[in-house]
Amino acid sequence: MGQRIGTVAALVGPDPAFWAGRRVLLTGQTGFKGAWLWLWLKRLGAVPFGLGLPAETEPSLHELAGIGGDSASRIGDIRDPAAVAAAFAAAQPEVVLHLAAQALVRRSYAEPVATLATNVLGTVNVLEAARATSSVRAVVSVTTDKCYENREWVWPYRESDPLGGHDPYSASKACAEIVTAAWRRSFLAAAGVGVATARAGNVIGGGDWSADRLVPDCLAALGRSESVAIRNPAATRPWQHVLEPLSGYLLLAERLCRSDAPDVAGAWNFGPEIGDVQPVSVLADRLVELWGGSARWHLVEGAQPHEAGLLAVDASKARIGLGWRPRLGLDEALSWTVSWERGRREGRDPARLVLEQIAAYESLAGPRRTTTSAETEATT
């Protein structure tokens, strides 16, 4: 059965007129994606309020970009219902962007219970607080492309494909999808709150120092003039620059707030063009080439924890329903990432580097165009 969604006639970007003065609760603002999103919300004129654990990396974009010095960026744990409720009470948000998570596959093997507690019960706490806060109009809960039951097939996964998860991280995000849908159907839709989930691909960009992630590990090794250790060179992933899914989250929140778009609630994929779904070895080769000098990579010997081999998502629904599509190809995304890191190493202000790339990304979208509300049948 298809779901009817409004067609967006042309490519669009986040609308400053919508975000100006809008109160937003952003969970996970201390993380890589959260820090980029915080700075973009500020640029758009929104009033963000953050809730997240202390930044886990040193350095961290949250601190380098000065977000940690903002009194609206609150430290707290989404596993604590009282902390979540207090954040909602302080923020009185219209829009909730829920990014806080334990987001590392390999860590989930070491900390399975904590991963489930954060990604499932933490999401429940956010949804319950949204349910109790009358100002909330829209909730975007970010999960992952790994929430699908991975069958190691060559076809991209669509929003209607079964959920699953071999590892604790993937399983926790599939569970987060299920509980979000349950709260939407049981409570939030009836209260007039639009709720959607967003499933993004493998995100890259400047300012990510997370452990056990390919690009941060590559840049760290290259910066030390060391060979890059690669665990699974044949694994394919839907690589995309961090600004790609973030633009999708913002567009999705805008549409959820529109009274004429109640059918936007549900799950949405945000992934690259199929040509940018590439093996790890190709990404490593291109990073080494961009870095230059004596840069190189080598294969890590020995058994490794299970990770998906083939993974891609179909973002046709977002292209049709939101007017969203990728702006940057893989080569551009890698070039922007290396350029950002080189700029930081040269002493440039990290926040300024982020804002410059946001401005460049916005310019690629062209002028914002009026959308239509014509109906079309989209398979989901």
CA 153/CA 162 separation, integer angstroms: 13
Handedness of CA 172, 174, 175, 179 (dihedral sign): positive
Q: How confident is the model at residue 298 (pLDDT cuts 50, 70, 90)?
A: confident
pLDDT in tens, 84-134: 999 999 999 999 999 999 988 889 999 999 999 999 999 999 999 999 999
Cβ neighbours, 10 Å, residue 279? 16
What is the rounded CA–CA span in Å between residue 268 and residue 158? 9
Domains of the chain (ranges; CATH) run 3-203+241-273+312-328 (3.40.50.720)
Six-digit token pair at 155? Answer: 């076809």
Residue 301 has pLDDT above 70, yes or no: no
pLDDT digits (tens, 9 = 90+) for 245-290: 999 999 999 999 986 666 899 999 999 998 888 888 888 888 888 8
| pLDDT tens-digit readout, 216-225 | 888 888 778 7
Q: Inform me whether the pLDDT recorded for 320 exceeds 70.
A: yes
Query: Mean pLDDT of all residues in the chain?
Result: 88
In contact, 238 and 247? CB cutoff 8 Å: no
The stretch 45-57 carries a mean pLDDT of 96
Supply 298's token pair. 């080598």
